[in-house]
Amino acid sequence: MSVSKDYDSYAIKMRNLTMAGTDLETAARFVDMLCPRGSRILDIGCGIGNTVNALRQRGHQAFGIDPTQQVLEVAGELFDDTWFRQLGAGELNLETLRACGLPISFEAIVLAGNVPAFLPAEEFAGLFSVAQLLLSDSGVLVIGTSAVARGGTEQQDELLERSQLRLVGRFSDWHLSTFDFSADWCVSMYAKTQKRTGFTKPDGIFVLPS
């Protein structure tokens, strides 16, 4: 089977899962929890756009990039095609984002599912530098993927040693289950500082009158 047909099959499979009502929004709920309403969010390797759509429905300025035409055609069919760009992770820089009409600063950057395992090693390594450049002061890079595949915890930890980002949390799934090194899955959160600060709105915080 050719690579093209592999992508075709994947796009059809994901479209069918979406139309069947399968819950493909767990990553979006996790990211929504981390961000103030109206945040700018970039989904790298967005596939057919479920995460971007779910974040848009929650009031965020979410955009998705993917290098694969087949999945983006489905994203445009199911959702608003202006939310998506055909762009690879290795092409991310300020000039490209401006040329594509995308923001150049984000409150969250997301890689979910098998994206890290399919990225060339140099592109995945470069994402830590790109995130450092594109994240706002309170922004977070979220990587949810197989713990043991390429792009899992071992490679992430190696890259982190050479990065200015800091690991601020790690779980074994999108539901905040405790992570240990027997876990098959990992969701890791990286930010510019160990303690994220600088939020401009007290979302959900109620101050009792004195």
DSSP 64-117: EEES-HHHHHHHHHHS-GGGEEE--GGG-SHHHHHHTT--S-EEEEEEETTHHH
Q: How far apart are CA 76 and CA 92, in angstroms?
A: 21
101 — alpha (psi -120 to 50), left (phi > 0) or beta?
A: left
Say what the pLDDT of residue 32 is.
96
List beta partners, residue 169: 189
pTM here is 0.88
pLDDT given for residue 25 in this prediction = 74
State which fold the 25-191 domain adopts. Answer: Rossmann fold (3.40.50)
pLDDT given at position 156: 95
Give the integer Cα–Cα distance in Å for 41 and 52: 8
Chain-centroid distance, C-alpha 3? 24
Q: What is the pLDDT of residue 208?
A: 63
User: What does each C-alpha distance from 150 to 114, 142, 154 come to in angstroms?
Assistant: 9, 16, 8
Residue-wise pLDDT tens digits, 48-58: 899 999 999 99
- Please report the pLDDT score of residue 95 as a whole number: 96
CA distance 166 to 10: 34
pLDDT at 1: 25
The Cα 99–Cα 81 span in angstroms is 17
Nearest to 47, CA basis, from 141, 122, 112: 112
CA distance 195 to 90: 28
Using CA atoms, how far apart are residues 70 and 26, in angstroms rounded to an integer? 23
**pLDDT for the residue numbered 107:** 97
pLDDT by 10s per residue, the chain, length 210? 233 446 667 655 666 656 666 656 799 999 999 999 999 999 999 998 999 999 999 999 999 999 999 889 999 999 999 999 999 999 999 999 999 999 999 999 999 988 898 898 899 999 999 999 999 999 999 999 999 999 999 999 999 999 999 999 999 999 999 999 899 999 999 999 888 877 776 666 666 655
Report CA torsion sign: 155, 160, 161, 162: positive
SS3 content of the chain, % helix, strand, coil (to 5): 40, 20, 40
Whole-angstrom distance, CA of residue 29 vs CA of residue 112: 12
CB contact burial 9-36 (16+ within 10 A = b; e otherwise): ebbeebbeebeeeeebbbbbebbbebbb
